[in-house]
Amino acid sequence: MLQFITGGVCAPKGFAANGVHCGIRKNKIKKDLALITSEVRCAAACVYTQNLVKGAPILVTREHVKDGYARAVIVNSGNANTCNANGVEIAEKMCSLVEEYTGIPAGDVVVASTGVIGQELKLDPIAGGMEELVKGLSSDEAHSSAAAEAIMTTDTVKKEAAVSFELGGKQVKLGVICKGVGMICPNMATMLMFLTTDAAITPQMLQKAISEDVKDSLNMLSVDRDTSTNDTLCILASGLAGNPEIAAEGEDFDAFSRALHTLTTEMCKKLAADGEGATRLIECRVRGAKTKEDARLAAKSVVNSNLVKAMIFGADANGGRVMCALGYAGADLDPMKIDVDFRSEAGTLPAYKQGSALPFSEDFAKRVLSEKEIVIDVALNEGSFEATAWGCDLTYDYVKINGDYRT
């Protein structure tokens, strides 16, 4: 039985974490350097942004996990280390610092950065913070939270979770920390997300699990239609739970994949709800599509629409904006078969039936769309496939945040 537990990335056996302020950020209150380590070498798998402009840490991480193994993750916030002439050199030196202070080979270190693009990342603050960072490594819950805090940029809340489930008669744990509330509309991964597990699983099956999962989790998340240069998802599996190693598809692989999807979709909701300037979480559920891809295209188009996002911000039940977004989604659908409902804790508002607008009470509509979480329920009535996408409203504060992000 799968259940949520505490501990974040420190919940699985063998992992420790920490986060400190080293001086990359001018704000001395904010942590800006995080480290996750494992007692043993782990099976590792990653997915990255498809933006052609990629942060230097991605180039280094790709090389380091090419053999399917890693043992540590070092992450800084406050600077993306992207579009810098010496970016790869700095990323490599960050990994070398991990080796110097922990003994973990630099080639077994995953490195990631987040923050402003196009500003040189200085190594001195990172080097100066390594002793405190490593000395404070711990497997307790507070240190997972410290790492989660250290990777935040414009996030307003830390994002971490963990689950426990059974594989082959053994109790297995899976934990996660992540960040990112802007530049979110990825084609492969999203923002920065780091998962740890004590499951025994081969690198090949681990890669298969996350590559399949992101299609219906992180790839269905959007805040602002901008794909970051540094998006990275990384998962490390220590194998210390002692379950029979997952080396092929089957019941155990399916159970692991379900647990993984539970965590990644939970994080999608947290990330969307904390979108830059956001006041509401939008969840678009599309059902009755001809194909899975049609369902994904339709759901993503709705949460991507700036007009839909603005409509939700104003609690103005303009369902025509949903119909419009569905129409240009690129999905194979018949507009005259579409039903659209708005749902929240305040109730359900039928807005469109078979492509035509329905009459409704403006007062009731306002109540439904004024809740913190809004579901846009779309029935295409064409087939049996479905998909869900997550987004947020578009507010005045989004412009304020990004109008002076660098300064």
Q: Give the model confidence (pLDDT) of 285-317 as tens digits.
A: 999 999 999 999 999 999 999 999 999 999 999
Burial (Cβ within 10 Å: 0-12, 13-18, ≥19) of residue 342: buried
Give the pair of three-digit tokens for residue 125: 């603050």
Burial (Cβ within 10 Å: 0-12, 13-18, ≥19) of residue 260: buried
Give the pair of three-digit tokens for residue 283: 């969840």
Contact 105, 99 (CB under 8 A): yes
d(CA 132, CA 223): 35
Contact 75, 61 (CB under 8 A): no
Identity of residue 178:
C
**Biggest CA pair distance of the chain:** 68
Residues paired with 390 in a beta bridge: 221, 283
- Rounded to the nearest integer, the mean pLDDT of the chain is 95
Which domains, ranges and CATH numbers included, belong to the chain?
3-273 (3.60.70.12), 281-403 (3.10.20.340)
Q: Give the model confidence (pLDDT) of 229-280 as tens digits.
A: 889 999 999 999 999 999 999 999 999 999 999 999 999 999 988 888 889 9
Distance of alpha carbon 143 from its chain centroid, rounded? 20
Q: What percent of the chain has pLDDT over 90?
A: 85
Q: Is the dihedral of CA 188, 190, 196, 199 positive or negative?
A: negative
Instruction: Find tokens 């960050």 and name the residue.
Output: 94
Identity of residue 402:
N
Which of 102, 190, 229, 232 is the catalytic position? 190
> Is the pLDDT reported for residue 407 higher than 70?
no
User: Would you call 190 a catalytic residue per the annotation?
Assistant: yes
pTM exceeding the 0.75 threshold for the entire prediction: yes
When pLDDT is cut at 50, 70 and 90, the band that residue 180 belongs to is confident
Q: Give the model confidence (pLDDT) of 189-227 as tens digits.
A: 558 999 999 999 999 999 999 999 999 999 999 887 778
Residue 174 CB partners (closer than 8 Å, separation 6+): 11, 12, 162, 163, 164, 165, 195, 196, 197, 199, 259, 260, 263
d(CA 322, CA 327): 9
Residues paired with 352 in a beta bridge: 340, 357
> Is the pLDDT reported for residue 50 higher than 90?
no
